[in-house]
Homo-oligomer: A and B are copies of this chain.
Amino acid sequence: MSKPAIGFIGLGIMGRPMAGHMQAAGYPLTVVNFDPPLPENLLQAGAVVCQSNREVAEKSDIIIIMVPDTPDVEKVLFNEDGVANGLSAGKLVIDMSSISPNATVEFAQKINALGCDYLDAPVSGGEPKAISGELTIMVGGPEAAFERALPVFETMGTTITLIGERNGDGQVCKVANQIIVGCSVQAAAEALLFASKAGADPRKVHEALMGGAARSVILENHARRMLDRNFEQTFRVELQRKDLGLAVEACREMGMVLPNATTAWQLLNACEANGDLNADAISVLKVLERMANHTLEA
């Protein structure tokens, strides 16, 4: 049985390796010509280049979207030359971007009305896990559509969970993930800067903390990069702020308050004042450093 044709829209630092994994697994790949720059390796391996998102939808069985934010997904789907205008019944649209859970519900309803299934399937793990094909994928949508997509997901990720059969459940899970990640990055930065300002060796503190209840993926990876002052981008401040903003926005819609997530979200605004909006999310350390008039010495 030949594999379904995949249309992939959004060849950014995440999308490029993700599309590459699908192509390497034998899925015919269709991309769009204004997704810059079209990666040479995808073209050489036979990716078909279309002139519009509509044309991608026409030529594919499964259309995958991986763009930065809610308005980007809306444009890709519903612009005049958008995906919706190229769909026919039976196709499957998968949004792997991290966007608003509520907007996702609306988008899915419109796609369903065209006789197509919709999955929201945001990912966690950043560029390193996109490259290694070890993403965490959190999925919302009908189980049958999930089963149809699973072999495709398995080319890109290792922890693949159907959170619920309601569209939006995947995005809700991703927002929950980002609440923890965003708060944890800042807690690690605060802990190490506190220790350093108090005169202790932050590397020794990090070593001790990794042996106890404070141990986490964030303390292992992000805090180590803070100690090394390695601010090379793995995940942009701008995207972390956007994700915590999705939490705050959804809180307002639902009538609930998350004081810790809100504090973390606010602090990311000061990264912009520092000119670090496009730097790695650990740059929030520099905001704390400026407030403390102290640099983490490691």
Chain A residues with CB under 8 Å of chain B are 101, 124-126, 136, 138, 140, 158-159, 161-164, 166, 168-169, 172-173, 175-177, 179-181, 183-184, 186-188, 190-195, 197-201, 204-205, 207-209, 211-219, 221, 247, 250-251, 254-261, 263-264, 266-267, 288, 291-294
Contacts and interface: CB of A to CB of B under 8 A. Distances in A.
A213 B173 contact: no
Nearest to A287: B259
B250 A124 contact: no
A194 B208 contact: no
A256 B292 contact: yes
Contact of A101 (B159, B198, B261, B292): B198
Contacts of A261: 187, 190, 194
A101 B195 CA distance: 11
Contacts of A207: 161
B219 A191 contact: no
Contact of A194 (B175, B187, B215): B175
Contact of A259 (B163, B164, B263): B263
Given A172-B198, A175-B195, A187-B261, 16 more contacts: A124-B213, A124-B214, A136-B208, A159-B211, A163-B201, A164-B200, A177-B209, A177-B213, A177-B214, A179-B191, A180-B216, A183-B184, A213-B217, A254-B292, A255-B292, A257-B291
Contacts of A219: 180, 216
Contacts of A205: 138, 163, 172-173, 176
Nearest to A190: B258
Given A187-B184, A254-B197, A173 B204 contact: yes
A128 to B, nearest CB: 10
In the A-B complex, the 6 residue pairs with the closest CB atoms = A159-B211, A216-B216, A136-B212, A183-B187, A256-B292, A161-B208
Contacts of A194: 172, 175-176, 179, 247, 250-251, 256, 258, 261
Contacts of A204: 161-164, 169, 173
Contact of A214 (B184, B212, B294): B184
A218 B213 contact: yes
A172 B191 contact: no
A192 B208 contact: no
A169 B124 contact: no
Nearest to A284: B260
B180 A183 contact: no
Given A158-B211, A163-B205, A208-B138, A191 B180 contact: yes
